[in-house]
Structure 1
Amino acid sequence: MGEQYGGDHQDFRGGEFNGDFTAKKVEYHQHGPAPTALDALPPKVAGFTGRGDQLAELLGAFDPVGGEAPGAVLVAAVSGLGGIGKTALAVEAAHEACDEGWFPGGVLFVNLHGYDDDRVTAEQALETLLRGLGTPPEHIPNGVDARAALYRSVLAARERELGAVLVLADNASAAEQVRPLHPGGVRHRLLATSRSKLPQLGARLLPLGELSPEEAYDLLDRALRIAAPGDTRVANEGEAAAELALLCGHLPLALQIAAALLVLDRDKPVAELVVELAESGDRLLHLDDGERSVRAAFDLSYQRLPAEQARLLRLLALAPGSEVTAEVVAALDGADVPPVRVLDALCRAHLVERGSGRGRWRLHDLVRVFGVGVVKGDVRLWEEGEGARERLLAFYCRWAGAADGRLRWLPGMQEPERFTDRAGALAWLDSERAGLVAVVQWAREERFAATAVLLSQCLAEYLDWRRSFDDKITVCGVAREAAHRAGDRVGEASAWNSLGIALQQTGRVGESVDAHTRARDLFQAIGDLPREAAAWSNLGSALQEAGRTDDAIDAHIRARDLFQAAGDRPREAMAWGNLGLALREAGRAEDAIAAHIRSRDLYQAAGDRHGEARGWNNLGGALWEAGRRNEAVEACEKALEGFREFEDWYGTGRTLSNLALAHQDAARPAEARTHFLQSADAYTRANALTEAAEARTWAEEITP
């Protein structure tokens, strides 16, 4: 046979052949190593900023000598709302870990597309990872279990040869997508990102919230300077930049889009974009730069929700205030008990967050905007939402009315529903205050006006008690306008009356006189004598504050006579007390003392312990001015006892100041200073910060 030469043929020259002869060409194939994708980590996000604590926690988890239990296989899961920056943080941490040399075996990256219509299954992900490890396609078996076993075997061999591998599984939507990707071994690490918390993985869980205001500002500044190093708009418009960050909810995606909009128009001031967002009926419409959209990011999460979760998310978006209690959630839902299971599911998906206390829930500001947009875009969903709002308003009106009844309760009155004491009523009102104030503003809508006006009347006493006069001005102003539009003269007059009290307390005395005059005239026209009497009493206090003492005395006498004629002893006692204050102002000390004694006695007869404390305090002031110092001190001490019993910190502060003045007059500086400081503390608890500052100043001025 002839010699074989190189190439793909044979030379038969010189050969001898007997019989038939067939020559067949033979092909030889030698497979080279399959390509790998072990440097597949995406590039760092340009302008990445903040997340220092979270980055340190991830790096601590990656560190091969970072203190994890010996032999532990670590899985970390970064979770958070769409657009919160999960992938950016994971990629940043992976790059830093590689720079430290912790993963000499390489990095594998797979996008699981967990919220797309064609999300990647675990079996498909394993095929991608095995190919990335250099496994020939024909050697990859079918079935998730077989692929997972081969995957772990290949990783074990790579660990022996080169070292640890980091696997980054991005954008998972469920634990079953990630669990089979567990790498095995003791040195490999798996990092997953998801919009859900994935507690089923047994992983180190790292939930992400929005950026801090400082981090959000830095992100905006860096983004503009990357595009143009000389762009100083954020630095030059610090306040506007902070407002822009707030309108973006400190959400990285929204901030990046806002920065891109500024980059596209380098002549646009930051303040101009702020105005566009603030005045837009739909902020999310603007948070779209053509390639990225906050609404689209949220919609991916929303579309995957089961029906009951999607419904509750929509209803929560309509809730008033920045956060709501579980009771409010139940009212919106129309359920007897809070839907805790559904709330927990939405919380795991980062669409709902736990609020400032147990049983409180909140939405990210932009999620709320998204939910409202979903409701407005569908007539059926809009009517569903209006029904939920009606339920909530009725819920608030019922329980605020009961709480108000407890605050006004005196012996002999019918026991209010639910609340057995003042402390319980105040605690409930405190917990719901933001929502209550917000819901009253629904009075601007005809559908809710009548009930919202009633709710405003239930809040008047409480807002006075907590000295929340700005909230009261807001509530009464909205209620007055709604009642006027509806022709509800009683509601309008009541709103004017309550508004006048708040205006006086905030120093707007002229407006207060006008408000009480309007209330008095309306009640007179209606023929409602008890409410007319209250308006006269409040008008008298405003007139006294305005320096019109004689007019104030006449107003208080008119109020006293009307209450007396109606047989309303507690309010007659109040009128006597107010009259006494005006008489003191007029220099009629003995008449004032007599008025305050009458006030105190009427309060005692009515069983009104808190009113009695006010009577003692007013009497103490009148006795002091009359030179009856010992009696005055005794009266103030009795007042102090009553105010403390009711946790009336404003009354406590005022009485302690009176006692401090008595000690100062008696040349007892140490006692005077102590009482002024105690007064300052009480005023602070009462949210009377101006009075608190004055009391501290007086204490500091005392020379021991």
Structure 2
Amino acid sequence: MTRTVIGDMVKGRYITAERLRVAVHACGVPGLQVSRWLETFSLISRRAAGASSFVRVPVPSGIHGQGQHLPSLVPVVAGLPRDVPDLIGRSEELDALLGQTGGGRVMSIHTVDGMAGVGKTALVIHASYRLAERFPDGQFFVDLHAHTPGKAFTDPADVLADLLTDIGVDPQQLPDTLASRRTMWRDYTATHRILLVLDDAADHAQVEPLLPSGQGCLTLITSRSRLVALDAAVPLAVDILDPTGAAELFWMLSRRVPGTGEDAAVEQIVRLCGYLPLAIVLLAGRLAHHPKWSISILATEFATTQNRLSELAAGPRAVHAAFDMSYRNLPPHRQRLFRRLGLHPGRDIDAYAVTALDDITLDSARSELDSLYTDNLIEETSPGRYRMHDLLREYARTLARAESEDHSARPIDRLLSYFQFTAHTANQYLTRSSHRVVLNLESPPSESPGFPDSTAALTWLQSERLNLLACIDFAVNTDRRAQTVGLTYAISSFLRSQVPRPHAISLHQQATAAAHQIGDRIGEASSLLALADLRQLLGDYSSTAELSQQALTIFRGIDHRLGTADALGSLGWALWRLGDLAGAADLHQQALTIFRRIGERLGEANALDDLGRIEGQIGNYQTAHQLHAQALTIYRDLENHIGHAGALHGLGLTSHRLGDYPRAIELHTQALRMYRALRERLGEASALHDLARTHRQIGDYTTATDLQTHALDIYRDLAHHHGEANALHEIACTHHQIGDHDHASELHTRALDIYRRIGNLAGEAQALAGIARAQAATSTNTQSATELFERALSIYRQIGSREGEAETLNDLGTLMTQIREPTKGQQFHQQALELAREMQSPLEEARAREGLARCWVQRGSPAHAIDELRDATAMYTRIGAAEKERATTYMAQLQHLQQESTAETVIET
């Protein structure tokens, strides 16, 4: 009789008649009294389980000894531990076990794996009770002690000795070898239906000799490791509880009632427990024994404790102890990696990052991660990416911190260098700027993923987003200033488009301060430019100009020509938005000269593209078109996709202005596809906005509204106020053209408020003109409309926007005709016509000619009017403008009336 059997009997577990006979005989009980012991045991067993629990067992071959036989009446073993009455949060797992073992053929081996404390044993025991009646020949529970503190792994030979004794084999007749015992066990199970639970298995080698051979038998195995080498086993992975199940478990075990105002505290506690059942059981149990304790106070204390693991203990049961046993079973090199994983600031990790963290090869990193996954010490969140449970990570971090500071610092520095290097590489696919900050890594990574294209680069950045941000926070909190600057700059383009603006601004402010503290002038100025870029996205153009000027001063002071050119471009962008078009163009021209002088082609393309946008607003459409085309050529040569999309977008704008609407739609659509492929949401919104504008111009108002509404949603999501105002203005223009002037006026007013708040003069002018247009259309307040048009015209002339000036002059001319002042109207339209010809704007030229025609009618010259209308309708037709129908109808009326010599009727109308 083994020590394990004796220990179980002392605790009142797994007592059988044969075990009892051997035990009392060994204790010196006389033979006659042994029989009384067995009779008493039989009576107790029948009362507990019913007489049917005793069956006559045929003796398998090899069990009979020389002249000795098993007793003809052998009790069926019902050796399952106490069941958990309410198994919370495991219905799916339980259904999986019961479903796979029900019905016809029994799937004979099931493994249940999961991390320490996840509730594997409780699940299997509960399932075993539900299944017990299907296995009338006995239910056996064996603790294999793979992770029991103070105990060695249970030897399979000892387990077989206990099992054979349980089924009635005389201990004196047990075979000596493992192989012989296994044969005897399989002979027996071949003809019996039994349920065998093997709890806490170390590996497949420990359980393989214990497996029954009969098709009618079921074996349930729990293990912290995935027993991948166990053939024909059906695996079931048990994860942590979901938040609802975790809270329900806490409420039940703490003997508290939900809905008493402490639900939030319970949610916090189970979250801090990592939804791990063992941790919840221990903490809830403490609360159950202290009815005066407040859950909220416990939650606060648990959240602020320096060592949560120390709080999760009750006698011999402790989360820390459970983790200890898993850790000690690892080989030394894997223990080292486990500790270092606890140092990782982020949430998950892949093989490349492990290569840097543990200073091993990529193949070794993959192998080690797979081994830790097999041991349920990490979980796979997606293919090739792994994460530690929160409490396991805290445990690993505690182990790592016990090492010397230098010993733990080197792995982290390697990891930060890896992320900086790889992010820097990926960022090159997303940026329109050349890199000013030079990589100066103490530990360049030996392995790093390559990026064949921008999609791969962006996918990596998005996968590592939380890790990158966590690494920056770690660098800040540990005074790693150079790494703070380098990491932040390395993902600057990603921060611009994929991270909320306030957070991105905060990160660049930290980087600016860190660079200043260590005297990194290039890093400081580059961080200032990144801040300037974010400020302009928020519409804070004054701050953009100020930050750009600070960066420009630094770059000029250290004679950094690339940085100087970038700063000039940033300052030029701010001046453009503030309405100084001439000043902006001059700064971009200076930047272009420097870029060309130093041979920086990406910067050259950026300057050309920015100049194209400014020239377009000024009204130099052909020049703008040429500039965008030059930029596009360079972007294509450099395979810079974000710049490529921007240049296509710019060409779409000039095509629209030049009246080539089909080409504009084609170019905007191409840009939109590229922006979406790059997941560049601001670019996507801008392309949608201008695509909608072109659809409005050709009279497709439904499509225009849908596209513009989508753009508005994105602008608002990004807190891009300038874009939001632009979208509101365009939606208002669509409402105006379909005759909904009141709604148009309301939307223009909302846009005006935003334009004024961000200081955008061009936007203010177009919103004022939009409000005036709505007022003029309703004929309710033409004086106010006139004043608004004049204010808009004044702004356009102030900022040098001939495009806006021509449009507003035409609007004023139309209004003058409306109030029967054709001479003034003719003057406005004539000025607009001259500007339109200079700009080569067919739309404004056609509008001017149509307006002049109406003035000629009021002045009594229908023949002149028809001539102007012919030119206007020809232009409208050529460009496909929606105004074509209106002008054509008006010309037909004039021609008909002229034929009947009734021009006076037209004058009166």
Q: Does 1:393 align with 2:421?
A: no
Q: Does 1:176 align with 2:205?
A: yes
Residues in 1 aligned to 2:631 and 2:76: alpha-carbon distance in whole angstroms: 85
Residues in 1 aligned to 2:307 and 2:719: alpha-carbon distance in whole angstroms: 36
Q: What is the match of residue 11 of structure 1?
A: none
- The amino acid across from 1:323 in the alignment is D
Residues 237/631 of structure 1: CA separation in 2 closer, same or farther (3 Å cut): farther
Q: What is the match of residue 246 of structure 2?
A: 216
Q: Does 1:288 align with 2:320?
A: no
Does the aligned pair in 2 maintain the 1:77–1:204 contact within 8 Å? yes
Q: Does 1:402 align with 2:436?
A: no
Q: What is the SS of the residue equivalent to 1:634? A: helix
Of 492-501 and 506-515, more deviation after overlay is shown by 506-515
Q: What is the match of residue 96 of structure 1?
A: 130
TM-score with structure 2 setting the length: 0.62
Residues 451/255 of structure 1: CA separation in 2 closer, same or farther (3 Å cut): same
Find 2:381's aligned residue among 355, 378, 387. Answer: 355
Q: What is the match of residue 343 of structure 1?
A: 369
Q: What is the SS of the residue equivalent to 2:235? A: strand
Residues 542/239 of structure 1: CA separation in 2 closer, same or farther (3 Å cut): farther
Q: Does 1:207 align with 2:257?
A: no
* Cα drift, residue 559 of structure 1: 5.1
Structural mapping, 1:472-551, within 5 Å: 472-473=504-505, 475-505=507-537, 515-516=547-548, 518-539=550-571, 541=573, 548-550=578-580
Q: What is the match of residue 143 of structure 1?
A: 177
Does the aligned pair in 1 maintain the 2:345–2:474 contact within 8 Å? no
Q: What is the match of residue 121 of structure 2?
A: 87
Q: What is the match of residue 301 of structure 2?
A: 276
Find 2:337's aligned residue among 284, 293, 312. Answer: 312
Residues in 1 aligned to 2:291 and 2:537: alpha-carbon distance in whole angstroms: 48
* Cα drift, residue 195 of structure 1: 0.7
> Which structure: larger Rg?
2
Does the aligned pair in 2 maintain the 1:331–1:388 contact within 8 Å? yes
Residues in 2 aligned to 1:592 and 1:261: alpha-carbon distance in whole angstroms: 78
Of 305-314 and 127-136, more deviation after overlay is shown by 127-136
Q: What is the SS of the residue equivalent to 1:236? A: coil
Residues 580/272 of structure 1: CA separation in 2 closer, same or farther (3 Å cut): farther
Q: What is the match of residue 252 of structure 1?
A: 277
Does the aligned pair in 2 maintain the 1:556–1:576 contact within 8 Å? no
Residues 420/312 of structure 1: CA separation in 2 closer, same or farther (3 Å cut): same
- The amino acid across from 2:417 in the alignment is A
Superposed CA deviations along residues 12-48 of structure 1, whole A, max 9, x for unmatched, are xxxxxxxxxxxxxx98787547876823322223653
Q: Does 1:334 align with 2:359?
A: yes
Structural mapping, 1:616-695, within 5 Å: 617-618=649-650, 621=653, 628=657, 630-631=659-660, 634-635=663-664, 637-642=666-671, 644-645=673-674, 647-648=677-678, 650=681, 651-672=683-704, 675=707
Residues in 2 aligned to 1:27 and 1:451: alpha-carbon distance in whole angstroms: 82
Does the aligned pair in 2 maintain the 1:493–1:523 contact within 8 Å? yes
- The amino acid across from 1:173 in the alignment is A
* Cα drift, residue 475 of structure 1: 4.0
Superposed CA deviations along residues 100-137 of structure 1, whole A, max 9, x for unmatched, are x3233332222121123423211222233334445454
* Cα drift, residue 275 of structure 1: 3.6
* Cα drift, residue 85 of structure 1: 0.5
Residues in 2 aligned to 1:665 and 1:683: alpha-carbon distance in whole angstroms: 22
Q: Does 1:126 align with 2:160?
A: yes
Residues 499/280 of structure 1: CA separation in 2 closer, same or farther (3 Å cut): farther
- The amino acid across from 1:52 in the alignment is S
Does the aligned pair in 1 maintain the 2:608–2:631 contact within 8 Å? no
* Cα drift, residue 79 of structure 1: 1.0
* Cα drift, residue 348 of structure 1: 1.4
Residues in 2 aligned to 1:346 and 1:307: alpha-carbon distance in whole angstroms: 13
- The amino acid across from 1:342 in the alignment is E
Does the aligned pair in 1 maintain the 2:532–2:543 contact within 8 Å? yes
* Cα drift, residue 501 of structure 1: 2.4
Q: What is the match of residue 8 of structure 1?
A: none
* Cα drift, residue 663 of structure 1: 2.2
- How many aligned positions are there? 642
Residues in 1 aligned to 2:467 and 2:331: alpha-carbon distance in whole angstroms: 28
Q: What is the match of residue 303 of structure 1?
A: 328
Does the aligned pair in 2 maintain the 1:216–1:245 contact within 8 Å? yes
Superposed CA deviations along residues 618-661 of structure 1, whole A, max 9, x for unmatched, are 4655786xxx4624663453344355356355434422332223
Q: Does 1:425 align with 2:461?
A: no
Q: Does 1:464 align with 2:496?
A: yes
Does the aligned pair in 1 maintain the 2:509–2:531 contact within 8 Å? yes
Q: Does 1:193 align with 2:232?
A: no
Residues in 2 aligned to 1:52 and 1:243: alpha-carbon distance in whole angstroms: 24
Superposed CA deviations along residues 598-636 of structure 1, whole A, max 9, x for unmatched, are 642551464457546535534655786xxx462466345
Q: Does 1:51 align with 2:90?
A: yes
Root-mean-square deviation (Å): 4.2
Q: What is the SS of the residue equivalent to 1:201? A: coil
- The amino acid across from 2:391 in the alignment is L
Q: What is the match of residue 4 of structure 2?
A: none
Q: List runs of 5+ in structure 2 lacking aligned partners.
A: 1-29, 43-74, 435-447, 740-909
Q: What is the SS of the residue equivalent to 2:134? A: coil
Q: What is the match of residue 603 of structure 1?
A: 631
Residues 445/37 of structure 1: CA separation in 2 closer, same or farther (3 Å cut): farther
Q: What is the match of residue 17 of structure 1?
A: none
Does the aligned pair in 2 maintain the 1:37–1:134 contact within 8 Å? no
* Cα drift, residue 345 of structure 1: 1.9
Residues 261/529 of structure 1: CA separation in 2 closer, same or farther (3 Å cut): farther
Of 48-57 and 339-348, more deviation after overlay is shown by 339-348
Superposed CA deviations along residues 304-361 of structure 1, whole A, max 9, x for unmatched, are 111122122222222343222222222223233232332222211111222312x222
Percent identity (aligned): 29
- The amino acid across from 1:237 in the alignment is E
Residues 671/642 of structure 1: CA separation in 2 closer, same or farther (3 Å cut): closer
Q: What is the SS of the residue equivalent to 1:355? A: strand
* Cα drift, residue 212 of structure 1: 1.6
* Cα drift, residue 534 of structure 1: 2.8
* Cα drift, residue 206 of structure 1: 1.1
Does the aligned pair in 2 maintain the 1:109–1:170 contact within 8 Å? yes
Q: What is the SS of the residue equivalent to 2:195? A: strand
Residues 596/85 of structure 1: CA separation in 2 closer, same or farther (3 Å cut): same
TM-score with structure 1 setting the length: 0.78
Residues 596/530 of structure 1: CA separation in 2 closer, same or farther (3 Å cut): same
Does the aligned pair in 2 maintain the 1:110–1:128 contact within 8 Å? no
* Cα drift, residue 480 of structure 1: 2.7
- The amino acid across from 1:221 in the alignment is W
Q: What is the SS of the residue equivalent to 2:382? A: coil
Does the aligned pair in 2 maintain the 1:573–1:602 contact within 8 Å? yes
Residues in 1 aligned to 2:401 and 2:248: alpha-carbon distance in whole angstroms: 35
User: Of Structure 1 and Structure 2, which has the larger fraction of its residues in helix?
Assistant: 2
